[in-house]
Amino acid sequence: MKLFRESSRRSFIKQTALISTGFLALSRCTLKDKQVVGPSGIELIPDPKKYIDLPQGFHYKVISRAGEKMDDGFLVPGRADGMGAFAGKEGRVIVIRNHENSPGSSVDSPFGENNELWKNIDPLKLYDAGRSKEPSLGGTTTFIYNEKTGQVERQYLSLAGTNRNCAGGITPWNSWLTCEEDVSKQNETAEKDHGYVFEVPATDEIGLVDPVPLTAMGRFNHEAVAVDPKTSIVYQTEDAGDGLFYRFIPNVAEQLSAGGQLQILVVIDQPQFDTRNWDAQKIKLNEPVSVRWMDIDDVLSPENDLRERGFKLGAARFARGEGIWFGKDELFFACTNGGPSRSGQVFRYKTSPHEGTSNESQQAGTLELYAESPDKTILNKCDNLTIAPWGDVILCEDNGQLNHIRGINKNGELYNFGVNRGSGSEFAGLVFSPSGKTLFVNIQESGETVAITGPWESFS
């Protein structure tokens, strides 16, 4: 049974093919200091409200705030992180938003400062109720946005009882895969183990999804995922300084809950390859290396040792894998503190024509270092990323100091698109609406979701 309309698949493939072309000229991306202003002399206009500086002609609007009452009676949780945007009815946009909350962070709870609204939730819709003592307060909310009016028309809790929902990724069958960046184990307060991916359908109907962990995708510090629309293979990043890069081959296309095989990326003829470039330039800019994929077992290990066992088997090592986005037969992902300055890297993985099949060895996929920051004044701790409709890579920073939204254009030039002037909070979850008219982004510590509009055509 198909889980999505064929038109949805065509739209997804068309979008990924379009954005992929934006990377064709990035093969000389060295991120030089003189390029930070941008290829067109992009300058940011100081915001009189000292909230977000943006280029001339662009405007922001706070469309949702933590603590606001939602349409289901609960409160908008705090610490919003990754987001996915989907086409809704009559031109509306359905946005699913992660919340990176842990047990005990009641100030950011959807159930009130003292969790007083806890009694109003169906316990069967909670993944981990914390033995009614310390419930897990992460999860997702969904909001319906009208681009014509610039208003959120509805918002509600859509997944509850998980921990530290950081990033995730959209699927071609109109759902959001939300990831737990947490590996807590069952104990005297936690009812269940954590460290999983959950699936949330993109719907405008108020209600909570059944919280079913996709356990075959592994238990580790999940960050983000990207799905190949041709194969349903899911690629996964791990937020750890010695993390791995994973892929999950489902047993049944488009049905991740039916199980599958988790694999780890290995550089051919170079086992235990260290891409971090901390002590030496092991992987060089624009010099692709051929890779293969290796099965890994015991994917639910309570020891959180997948990355350690995988590295011993020969897997490549990465410096805090973060945001990831799929293009046409290739994907791009960020590593927050990779590079000799530990300021960030962007990688490209190009799939094999036989990706995920027994013929894959005939023509291997390749891994390429696309960008590497020489120091934190150029790019400082890249985190979530997305691809603009015109092809540029758009990155959020998370450095606890002065955080930017940065872009890398088709000539490999880095430019600033926005600066958080109101706080030291990270930008998170940036994603374009399907129309390309609106960029949604969260300011995590402020608990605010922002919609940015303006003359996007000036970038294309």
Q: What is the pLDDT of residues 404-421, one digit of tens each?
A: 999 988 777 889 999 999
Neighbours of 3 (CB within 10 A): 14
Is 401 contained in some domain? yes
How far is Cα 215 from Cα 232, in angstroms, rounded to an integer?
17
Structural domains in the chain (count)? 1
- CA distances to 28, 30, 112, 337, 339 from 106, rounded to whole Å, are 47, 43, 7, 30, 37
The arithmetic mean of pLDDT across residues 78-102, rounded, is: 97
Q: Which band of pLDDT confidence, cut at 50, 70 and 90, is reported for residue 41?
A: low
The partner residues of 213 in beta bridges, in order of sequence, read 198
Residue type, 182: D
Q: Which band of pLDDT confidence, cut at 50, 70 and 90, is reported for residue 34?
A: very low
Is 83 contained in some domain? no
Average pLDDT, the chain: 91
How far is Cα 170 from Cα 176, in angstroms, rounded to an integer?
5
The arithmetic mean of pLDDT across residues 61-74, rounded, is: 98
Is 396 contained in some domain? yes
More confident residue, 72 or 2: 72
Is 319 contained in some domain? no
Q: What is the pLDDT of residue 311?
A: 98
How far is Cα 383 from Cα 111, in angstroms, rounded to an integer?
28
Q: What is the pLDDT of residue 31?
A: 52
pLDDT higher than 70, residue 3: no
- Per-residue pLDDT tens for 177-226? 999 999 999 999 999 999 999 999 999 999 999 999 999 999 999 999 99
Contact 368, 354 (CB under 8 A): no
pLDDT higher than 50, residue 5: no
Instruction: Tell me the two tokens of residue 213.
Output: 């962990």
How far is Cα 228 from Cα 230, in angstroms, rounded to an integer?
5
Most confidently predicted of 32-36, 54-58, 101-105, 114-118:
54-58
pLDDT higher than 80, residue 273: yes
Backbone angles phi, psi at 362, to 5 degrees: -70, -30
Is 57 contained in some domain? yes
Is 216 contained in some domain? no
- Per-residue pLDDT tens for 304-344? 999 999 999 999 999 999 999 998 889 999 999 999 999 99
Could you tell me the sign of the dihedral formed by the alpha carbons of 414, 420, 423, 429, in that order?
A: negative
Structural domain harbouring 448 = 31-65+380-460
- CA distances to 231, 309, 318 from 272, rounded to whole Å, are 27, 11, 11
How far is Cα 105 from Cα 127, in angstroms, rounded to an integer?
17
pLDDT higher than 60, residue 268: yes
Contact 92, 175 (CB under 8 A): no
What is the pTM (predicted TM-score) of this model? 0.93
Is 400 contained in some domain? yes
- Per-residue pLDDT tens for 165-175? 999 999 999 99
Tell me the CB-side half-sphere exposure of residue 264, using CA atoms within 13 A. 27
Is 8 contained in some domain? no
The arithmetic mean of pLDDT across residues 270-296, rounded, is: 96
Contact 418, 383 (CB under 8 A): no
Q: What is the pLDDT of residue 420?
A: 98
- Per-residue pLDDT tens for 110-148? 999 889 998 899 989 999 999 988 999 999 999 999 999
Contact 221, 307 (CB under 8 A): no
Q: What is the pLDDT of residue 104?
A: 86
How far is Cα 353 from Cα 371, in angstroms, rounded to an integer?
25
Q: Which band of pLDDT confidence, cut at 50, 70 and 90, is reported for residue 399?
A: very high
3 state SS for the chain: CCCCCHHHHHHHHHHHHHHHHHHCCHHHCCCCHHHCCCCCCCCEECCCCCCEEEECCCEEEEEEECCCECCCCCECCCCEEEEEEEECHHHCEEEEEEECCCCCCHHHCCCCCCCHHHHHCCHHHECCCHHHCCCCCEEEEEEEEECCCCEEEEEEEEEEEECCEEEEEECCCCEEEEEECCCCCCCCCCCCCCCCEEEEECCCCCCCCCCCECHHHCCCCEEEEEECCCCCCEEEEECCCCECEEEEEEEECCEEEEEEEEEEEEECCCCCCECCCCCCCCCCECCCEEEEEEECCCCCCCCCCHHHHHHHHCCCEECCEEEEEECCCEEEEEECCCCCCCCCEEEEEECCCCCCCCCHHHCCEEEEEEEECCCCCCCCCEEEEEECCCCCEEEEECCCCCCEEEEECCCCCEEEEEEECCCCCCEEEEEECCCCCCEEEEEHHHCEEEEEECCHHHHC
The arithmetic mean of pLDDT across residues 11-20, rounded, is: 44
pLDDT higher than 80, residue 1: no
pLDDT higher than 50, residue 10: no
Q: What is the pLDDT of residue 175?
A: 98
Instruction: Give me the percent of the chain exceeding a pLDDT of 70.
Output: 91
